[in-house]
Amino acid sequence: MPVPPSPVLRAAVRWLERLPVSSTARCRALFTNHADFSDLTPTQYEAAYSWLIENSLLEDLHSSAAVSERVFRTALASSGAPWLPDADVLVRSPEELPEDALRAAEALGIPESEAYEQVSAVWGKVNTEARALIGSAGELALVNLIAEVTEARVEHVAAYSDGFGYDIAVHAQRHPLHVEAKSTVRRGRITFYLSRHEYETMRRDPAWQLVAVQLTQDLDIAAVASVAAEWISAQVPQDRGSFGRWEACRLDVSPDALVPGIPRLAPLLNAGTTGLLLPGAQNG
């Protein structure tokens, strides 16, 4: 649902401020009959109460976080705002806050600078959860796809350990392949996070290959492409001193760095194989 109207957000704050020390019935009577709360209608109070229930905000009435911040973060996270998944690019300063975020911040008395920090926090949480879901779906779909077109044993090693430095092992005596899968549902933008462990594995393991997996909104594979280790090495940060070390970095893959299919898988493909994994295939 979109960010609730300003009166509903204000009503939500009043509920959360009073419910820790009073019952629902007493709060409802207070909001309905006391002049200090008559600037909002009973309908708006009830809409706010329903919204709090829907978003599980009544399950922890004694949270240490400020009430206005909790309401603001939840309003954004539950809004389905189209800009939120790309907030790291679209909202780079308080001056770039979208209208719905500004309206919610004003209603809750949150300064723009603080609202910007809250937007960043919400994006981080949403992004982490989405990456975990999309990443797992992409890995499993790629495991199944590779298994369908090769006789090699395909093992989803990331399903039981994240210590390998890659997600999928294709066991073949002459042409082993260790696939680090990075999945996305975004079109026109391939961004992924590379850990230092994955990078170091790439450097020492000649069988390592990063594969970008484009998924549909239904989490089906739409396209597969490979990214060369040489391109990755040219993009990662450099440790500049004895007391600093990067542990993860974000890489935005340029279109010219993508090679359709998985060329290194070619020797293992069954005769007559066509489709997404075929080296040089034109993926959608």
Q: DSSP letter string over 38-70?
A: TTS-HHHHHHHHHHHHHTTTTS-TT-SS-HHHH
In angstroms, the first-to-last Cα distance of the chain is 31
**Three-class SS state of 11:** helix
- If one counts every other C-beta atom within 10 angstroms of the C-beta of residue 4, the result is 24
Same domain, 94 and 152: no
pLDDT band at 187 (very low <50, low <70, confident <90, very high): confident
pLDDT digits 0-9 by tens, 44-84: 999 999 999 999 999 989 888 899 999 999 999 999 899 99
Percent of the chain with pLDDT over 70: 98
Average pLDDT (166-194) is 92
Same domain, 154 and 259: yes
Same domain, 82 and 139: no
pLDDT digits 0-9 by tens, 116-135: 999 999 999 888 888 889 99
Same domain, 85 and 152: no
Is 273 inside any structural domain? no
Res 6: pLDDT: 97
Q: Supply the mean pLDDT for the chain.
A: 92
Is 118 inside any structural domain? no
Res 273: pLDDT: 73
At residue 280, does pLDDT exceed 60?
Answer: no
pLDDT digits 0-9 by tens, 10-25: 999 999 999 999 999 9
Specify whether the CB–CB gap between 263 and 280 falls below 8 A: yes
Average pLDDT (165-180) is 95
Is 97 inside any structural domain? yes
**Cα–Cα distance for residue pair 191/188, rounded to 1 Å:** 10
- Domain limits at 15? 6-110
Same domain, 105 and 155: no
Tokens 């790439």 map to which residue?
202
Same domain, 100 and 148: no
E-state strands within the chain: 153-155, 168-171, 177-184, 190-195, 208-215, 221-227, 248-253, 258-260
| Structure tokens belonging to residue 107 | 């209603």
At residue 111, does pLDDT exceed 60?
Answer: yes
Sign of the four-CA dihedral 43, 48, 54, 57 = negative
CATH of the domain at 152: 3.40.1350
Position 213: which residue type?
A: V
Specify whether the CB–CB gap between 216 and 201 falls below 8 A: no
pLDDT digits 0-9 by tens, 213-265: 999 989 999 999 999 999 999 999 999 999 999 999 999 999 999 999 999 99
Q: What is the pTM of this model?
A: 0.74
pLDDT band at 189 (very low <50, low <70, confident <90, very high): confident
Same domain, 235 and 160: yes
**Cα–Cα distance for residue pair 45/31, rounded to 1 Å:** 8
pLDDT digits 0-9 by tens, 131-147: 889 999 999 999 999 99
Is 124 inside any structural domain? no
Res 129: pLDDT: 86
Q: Which of 59, 94, 110 is the last residue of a domain?
A: 110
Res 176: pLDDT: 94
Is 200 inside any structural domain? yes
Number of domains forming the structure of the chain = 2
